[in-house]
């Protein structure tokens, strides 16, 4: 019996985007228990480390990190899913974070653009995580800081 396996990165990425678009309406609700028990505290501790500078968040999702952001000079956040970005929009405006619909595997920024890159609970959903990590390395300034959960 032949196994069904999707090997095409573009197809995997499209399926991931469609899945998160569909689930964006109830995503936060589905994660309430683990958010309350663990993630909230981890996010709070993580964002205490953030210094001022050009900040990129890869995989903003519905914007769960936004309440923890300090004031940043220039903040940009990307997500593959338009549906997730819709949920993050209101809070992103309050925090002066620009939202961009983009694939972590193909970031639309110049080399060495950011002092800090943040990514929380994202790379388990990136079809080719190594591509995404290489993109982060490309857009992160020399001696920049990558912060991940």
User: CATH: 3.40.50.150, 3.40.50.620, 3.40.50.300, 3.40.190.10. Which one for 9-148?
Assistant: 3.40.50.150
Query: Is it the case that residue 3 has pLDDT exceeding 60?
Result: no
pLDDT at residue 56 tops 50: yes
Average pLDDT over residues 9-37: 70
How high is the pLDDT of residue 1?
Answer: 46
- Given a cut of 60, whether residue 5 has pLDDT beyond it is no
Q: How many Å separate Cα 76 from the centre of its chain?
A: 10
Residue 28's pLDDT is 60
Per-residue pLDDT at 32: 58
pLDDT at 34: 63
Percent of the chain beyond pLDDT 90?
40
Q: Copy the structure tokens of residue 69.
A: 């952001």
Crossing angle of helices 9-23 and 82-94, rounded to 10°: 60
Pick the more confident residue, 49 or 130. Answer: 130
Give the DSSP letter of residue 69.
Answer: -
Say if strands 74-79 and 97-101 run parallel, antiparallel, or are unpaired.
parallel
Maximum average pLDDT range among 21-25, 73-77, 137-141: 137-141
Q: How confident is the model at residue 26 (pLDDT cuts 50, 70, 90)?
A: low
């Amino acid at each position: 019996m032949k196994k069904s396996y999707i090997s095409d990165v573009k197809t995997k990425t499209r399926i991931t985007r469609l899945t998160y678009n569909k689930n964006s309406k109830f995503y936060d609700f589905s994660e309430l228990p683990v958010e309350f028990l663990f993630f909230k505290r981890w996010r709070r501790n993580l964002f205490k480390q953030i210094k001022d500078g050009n900040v990129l968040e890869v995989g903003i999702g519905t914007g769960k990190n936004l309440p923890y952001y300090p004031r940043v000079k220039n903040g940009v956040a990307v997500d593959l899913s338009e549906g997730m970005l819709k949920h993050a929009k209101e809070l992103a405006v309050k925090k002066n974070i620009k939202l961009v619909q983009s694939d972590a595997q193909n970031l639309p920024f110049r080399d060495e653009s950011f002092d800090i890159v943040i990514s929380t609970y994202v790379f388990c959903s990136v079809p080719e995580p190594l591509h995404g990590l290489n993109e982060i390395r490309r857009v992160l300034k020399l001696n920049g800081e990558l912060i991940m959960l």
